[in-house]
Copies of this chain bind each other. A is one copy, B any other.
């Protein structure tokens, strides 16, 4: 993006991550930032709003803006709010291999509609994949995608990355993902494909995904083997949205 606020946002983010503005310290005041970046009050605040939303800063009325970014390295692959699974693995230097185990078109039945929220009669593409990290099968996903959105995607496309196919070939981007995460006894079907080492339970995640048109286009269900994968997020209390 070439927006002014976006440049400022990324620059301040860089300065925080570099340690120039350290954990629990205060940022320069808004007026200082306005002078530094030669822009208006509102534009600085818009940049700060994004940083606040990402858990980098907390504004303190009458005092200043405090840094709460803390550099941390995880021992698991963390599925966070930012990049795709592929990147999370790459960052940790792990070798990721994705294998498609089923790939078929179905029409939504009343039962399937109940689960996925898609309308009865709509055509879906259902893709099941196993993720192998450094030789172990740790992540099983089943995606239900609107056929009208995915077009003529092939299993090879899915093996690489569904989202990058959709963005590259269909000009579609993800806007919002609603996730639910829980621990659950593992179904036999999942056990068949994953390396569970005797565990009974896995983390299960349900995603409902909307694109930038606001169209609900994907329901997915994933199982993660214990110990390997985590999910992170950041909660901002309602009272703390003042920047926006």
Q: How far is the CA of A216 from the CA of B236 in the complex (A)?
A: 14
* Residue A148 CB within 8 A of the other chain: no
A55 neighbours in B (Cβ, 8 Å): 176, 178
Chain B residues, Cβ within 8 Å of A237: 173-176
C-alpha spacing A81/B70, complex, angstroms = 21
Q: Are A214 and B179 in contact (CB under 8 A)?
A: no
The answer to whether A184 touches B227 (Cβ under 8 A) is yes
A24 / chain B contacts, CB cutoff of 8 Å: 214-216
**Please, how many angstroms separate the alpha-carbon atoms of A183 and B225 in the complex?**
8
Please, could you name 28 A-B residue pairs with CB atoms under 8 Å apart, sorted by A? A1-B239, A24-B216, A49-B241, A55-B176, A58-B210, A58-B213, A63-B213, A68-B176, A74-B180, A81-B233, A174-B237, A175-B237, A176-B235, A176-B240, A178-B233, A179-B232, A181-B232, A183-B201, A183-B203, A183-B224, A183-B227, A199-B200, A199-B201, A200-B200, A200-B201, A203-B203, A212-B240, A233-B233
- Number of chain A residues close to chain B: CB under 8 A: 65
Cross-chain contact A60 with B180 (CB below 8 angstroms): no
Judge whether A231 is part of the interface by a CB distance below 8 angstroms.
yes
CB of B182 within 8 A of CB of A203, answer yes
Contact between chains at B174 and A202 (CB < 8 Å): no
Q: In the complex, are the beta carbons of A70 and B117 less than 8 A apart? A: yes
CB–CB B213/A182 < 8 A? no
Query: How many copies of this chain does the complex contain?
Result: 2
In the complex, are the beta carbons of A68 and B179 less than 8 A apart? no
Within the complex, which residue of B63, B173, B214 is in contact with A239, where a contact is CB–CB below 8 Å? B173
Which of B46, B53, B203, B213 is close to A53, meaning CB atoms less than 8 Å apart? B53
- Inter-chain contact B50/A179, CB cutoff 8 Å: no
Interface residues of A in 71-107 (CB under 8 A from B): 74, 76, 78, 81-82
Known: A216-B24, A241-B50, A244-B46. A227 touches B58 (CB 8 A): no
Most buried by B among A66, A68, A176, A214: A214
Complex interface: chain B residues within 8 A of A50 (CB):
238, 241, 244
The reply to whether the CB of A185 lies closer than 8 angstroms to some CB of chain B is: yes
Query: Contact between B175 and A58 (Cβ–Cβ < 8 Å)?
Result: yes
Whose C-beta in chain B lies nearest to the C-beta of A224? B183
> Residue A147 at the B interface, CB < 8 A?
no
State the CA gap A185–B200 with chains docked (Å): 10
Any B CB within 8 A of the CB of A132: no
